[in-house]
Copies of this chain bind each other. A is one copy, B any other.
Amino acid sequence: MNRTALFAFAVFVFGSGSVRAGADEGMWLFNNLPLETLKNRFGFEPDAAWSEHLMKSCVRFNVGGSASFVSSDGLVLTNHHVGSDTLFKLSTPERNILENGYLARSNAEELPAPDLELNQLLNIVDVTDRVNAAVKADMAAGAAMLARRETIEAIQKEALDQSGLRSDVVTLYGGGRYHLYQYKKYTDVRLVWAPESATAFMGGDADNFEYPRYCLDACIFRVYENGQPAKIEHFLKWSQAGPAEDELVFVAGNPGRTSRILTVDALKYQRDVRMPFVMNLLRRREICLQQFGLNGPEAKRRARDELFGIQNSRKAYTGMLGGLQNPAIMAAKTAAEARLRAQLKADPKLAALDSAWDEIEAVVAQRPDLLVKTPVVNSRLFEIAEEIVQMLEEDQKPSGQRLPEYGDAGRESLLQQLLSDAPIYADLETALLADSLARLAELRGGNDPMVEAVLAGQSPADRAASAVAGCTLADVAARKALIDGGIAGLSSCKDPMIQIAIAIDPEIRKYRKVADELAERERQAYAKIAEAQFATAGASTYPDATFTLRLAFGTVKAYDENGQRVEPLTDIAGAFNHQDTHPGQDDFQLPRSWNDAKGRIDGATPYNFVTTCDIIGGNSGSPCVNQNLEVVGLIFDGNIQSLTADYVYTDEQSRAVCVHSSAIREALRTIYNASHIAEQLGR
């Protein structure tokens, strides 16, 4: 891989995405699709019904992924690695669903997920004017933040009361626009089918973010209403043959976060401070979870899901940071910013906007301290304790004045998570808490008053062991009793995890306040930068990703790497060959179901493919559809060259990686004896 070549020859689009001819860039809002571009470049003119059908066929997994309805009776298709949180929670030492897969032979065998919430987007309303009207020009950042927060909560609560729909106000263009997103919620979600992790994640950490690939990174859920499979009006059909090379395709999903609007100062902070800091944390957790797994097969099973997520993030961050450390990228970003600022200064109507970059510089200078001081504790029991403590405290205030996550509008979703009966493993909790407490002591020093209060005279390891052993919150009833007891019961609560949360909470709040105020200042500054871009780009644009529904377009397309053409499609025979060429490497061994079916399945069946669609983390599980809105693939990864997409998109080598629709159908039929599911796809 020659990444210098990639960036040396690419033209950088900086900030947000003013579309250049030839570039398949953009994570487009469903209420502002790139219709002109699609018409001009591809001769394709989707109508309103097309986009409404696609929008309503999409499903968001609130744990951090995307999905789609693929049958009239509620089948939901997503990635194995998006479903894995649920697969893990449904697993036991005796029935390791995450590792060995699952197939429901009938509706009765479909397994209810303990705490999934799926969202179907029904409606988008621009509420920018109302949100901005609440903020007066002379307000300090803190007051502006509170006024904005109160208005947003009021809009959400009104919308919820009127419609009964989950109603979220989304900040777009870094603060340039505010849109109200309204979702139908599905909370009775059941597992229908999942393959073995060995095939879903073939090649493991080594192949992750690489291409060619051979992964069946798919699983299928079904949504229920009133105890019956839900009747779904908008669902996607299943393509007969999948996509042809160079065919126009679309990805509809929820990209989590991009930072393409960031100023050079903000990028340098990411490069020199935040990303190295986060990577130290990721490596630390990776080692901690690996060490825990050494205690035996059951310990390894308990740690596996979180370990996978950490390794995935660590590899992604490595690629992202590598991009930012490339002098050519930073030089291009710097030059683009200088050009834009020069353009503003030359135009009296726009010159005032230039101060936004200085404001970002000032905000960024305050971030390193915030990063180090904000307490982070990685333990589910601690999270539960901290949420209960904060909720009981926040509930003393009117909804609009609370921290947003404790407002009335979101209470139902909050409680669903907080009262989940997903298993909590005391041994794993102890290991993770010990590591988190040690890290707190490292970052703040062993003589920091909060650290001393938390440790209560014990070493981090001993304090973690005693706190987990004495904690009652693994029991959902104990959580409920504590919540019902209200603020009065909190002060007399003897639970050591609650006591730790009470010791840490003032510092969490202190730095949360700093963070919120800095974020408000950034919103105001980036709103100006967005305005500058609207004014100078002269074309439609898309905002940075916000884990809300977006449309990306592109083609199924080969690329060059080290002078070699990388074919856009792999096939099933390639998976067996990939196994055979990696003897003695566990991560490359297909499960028994595959090796048993080798003689029966058609090796020429297409397996994985790549497209130029502009995606990022959060898009995992997104449907890839053709112009007729038939599923042709399932997004599950980006190649290594795509990892800089957080900051910059190029379609020279950057590719989104999909499971081919035919591979899913054929695997269900031939490998998993699940024709009854295969027959339902698209019907």
Contact = CB atoms under 8 A, between A and B. Distances in A.
A441 B294 contact: no
B276 A324 contact: no
A322 B459 contact: yes
Nearest to A294: B206
A446 B271 contact: yes
Interface in A61-94: none
A272 B442 contact: yes
Contacts of A587: 294
B459 A268 contact: no
Interface stretch (A252-260, A281-289, A596-604): A281-289
Interface of A: prevailing SS: helix
A383 to B, nearest CB: 23
A243 interface: no
A314 to B, nearest CB: 7
B324 A446 contact: yes
Pick the most buried of A2, A287, A326, A455: most chain B CB atoms within 10 A of its CB.
Answer: A287
A99 to B, nearest CB: 13
A240 interface: no
A295 interface: yes
A577 B547 CA distance: 52
B2 A321 contact: no
Contacts of A4: 458-459, 462
A491 to B, nearest CB: 25
A272 B446 contact: yes
Nearest to A2: B462
A8 to B, nearest CB: 9
Pick the most buried of A271, A294, A297: most chain B CB atoms within 10 A of its CB.
Answer: A294
Nearest to A286: B287
A442 B287 contact: no
Contacts of A443: 276
Given A3-B459, A4-B459, A462-B2, A446 B325 contact: yes
Interface in A261-310: 268, 271-272, 275-276, 279-280, 283-284, 286-287, 291, 294-297
A340 interface: no
A536 B205 CA distance: 59
Contacts of A276: 442-443
A130 interface: no
A570 B566 CA distance: 57
A204 to B, nearest CB: 7
Contact of A294 (B204, B279, B458): B204
B314 A287 contact: yes
Contacts of A286: 283, 287
B297 A438 contact: no
Contact of A296 (B205, B272, B296, B582): B582
A460 interface: yes
A226 interface: no
B438 A321 contact: yes
A325 B462 contact: no
Given A204-B294, A297-B585, A585-B297, A325 B268 contact: no
A565 B560 CA distance: 64
Contacts of A455: 325, 327
A328 interface: yes
A135 interface: no
Interface string A442-475: 1101110000100101111110000000000000
Given A441-B325, A455-B327, A3 B462 contact: yes
A33 to B, nearest CB: 35
B283 A287 contact: yes
A276 B328 CA distance: 33
Contact of A327 (B279, B296, B458, B461): B458
B2 A445 contact: no
A9 to B, nearest CB: 14
Interface in A28-54: none
A330 interface: yes
A183 B294 CA distance: 43
Nearest to A326: B459
A461 B643 CA distance: 14
A452 B325 CA distance: 10
A584 interface: yes
A268 B457 CA distance: 16
Interface in A570-622: 582, 584-585, 587
Interface in A471-488: none
Contacts of A460: 322, 325
A283 B314 CA distance: 12
Contacts of A585: 294, 296-297
A3 B268 contact: no
A459 B582 CA distance: 30
Contact of A330 (B287, B297, B446): B446
B295 A206 contact: yes
A62 B244 CA distance: 63
Contacts of A2: 462
A411 to B, nearest CB: 39
A206 B297 CA distance: 13
Interface in A325-352: 325-328, 330
Nearest to A443: B276
A584 B297 contact: yes
A275 B439 CA distance: 11
A202 to B, nearest CB: 13
Contact of A445 (B272, B279, B441): B272
A204 B295 CA distance: 11
A206 B295 CA distance: 7
Contacts of A321: 438, 442
A292 to B, nearest CB: 10
A268 B445 CA distance: 8
Contacts of A206: 291, 294-295
Interface of A: 2-4, 204-206, 268, 271-272, 275-276, 279-280, 283-284, 286-287, 291, 294-297, 314, 321-328, 330, 438, 441-443, 445-447, 452, 455, 457-462, 582, 584-585, 587
What 10 A-B pairs have minimum CB-CB distances, sorted nearest first?
A: A206-B294, A326-B459, A276-B442, A272-B445, A283-B283, A4-B462, A280-B280, A325-B441, A283-B287, A327-B457
